Amino acid sequence: MYEFAYHHPKSLADAVKLLGGDKEAKALAGGQTLIPTLKQRLAQPSGLIDLGGVAELKGIKLAGKTLTIGAMTTHAEVAASADVAKSIPALAALAGNIGDAQVRNRGTLGGSIANADPAADYPAAVVGLGATVKTNKREIKADDFFKGLFATALADGEIVVSVSFPVPDKAGYAKFPQPASRFALVGVFVCVTGKSVRVAVTGAGPAGFRLPGMEEALAKSFAPASLDPITIDTKHLNDDMHASRAYRAHLVTVMAKRAVAAAG
Q: What is the CATH number of the domain that holds 7?
A: 3.30.43.10
Region 227-243: mean pLDDT is: 96
The pLDDT of residue 93: 98
Region 232-243: mean pLDDT is: 96
The pLDDT of residue 2: 84
pLDDT of 260 above 90: yes
pLDDT of 163 above 80: yes
The pLDDT of residue 49: 97
| Domain endpoint, select from 50, 67, 82 | 50
Distance of CA 151 to the CA centre of its chain: 13
Quick check: is 32 in a domain?
Answer: yes
Quick check: is 136 in a domain?
Answer: no
Number of domains in the chain: 2
Residue 240 binned pLDDT confidence (cut-offs 50, 70, 90): very high
Distance CA 262, CA 48 (A): 41
Instruction: Identify the three-state secondary structure at position 162.
Output: strand
Region 191-206: mean pLDDT is: 97
Element (H, E) at 248: helix 245-263
Residue 224 binned pLDDT confidence (cut-offs 50, 70, 90): very high
Q: How many CB atoms lie within 10 A of CB 13?
A: 12
Region 72-86: mean pLDDT is: 98
Domain boundaries, position 188: 170-263
Quick check: is 134 in a domain?
Answer: no
Residue 1 binned pLDDT confidence (cut-offs 50, 70, 90): confident
- List, as one string, the DSSP characters of 193-244: ETTEEEEEEESSSSS-EE-HHHHHHHHH--SGGGGTT-----TTS--SSS--
Query: CATH number of the domain that 239 lies in?
Result: 3.30.390.50
**Using one digit for the tens of pLDDT, what is the confidence trace for 108-138?**
999 999 999 999 999 999 999 999 999 999 9
Strands 60-63, 139-141: pairing is unpaired
**Using one digit for the tens of pLDDT, what is the confidence trace for 8-43?**
999 999 999 999 999 899 999 999 999 999 999 999
Quick check: is 88 in a domain?
Answer: no
Distance CA 172, CA 190 (A): 5
Region 146-165: mean pLDDT is: 97
Quick check: is 108 in a domain?
Answer: no
| Domain endpoint, select from 11, 35, 50 | 50
Quick check: is 194 in a domain?
Answer: yes
| Domain endpoint, select from 32, 50, 68 | 50
Residue type, 186: V
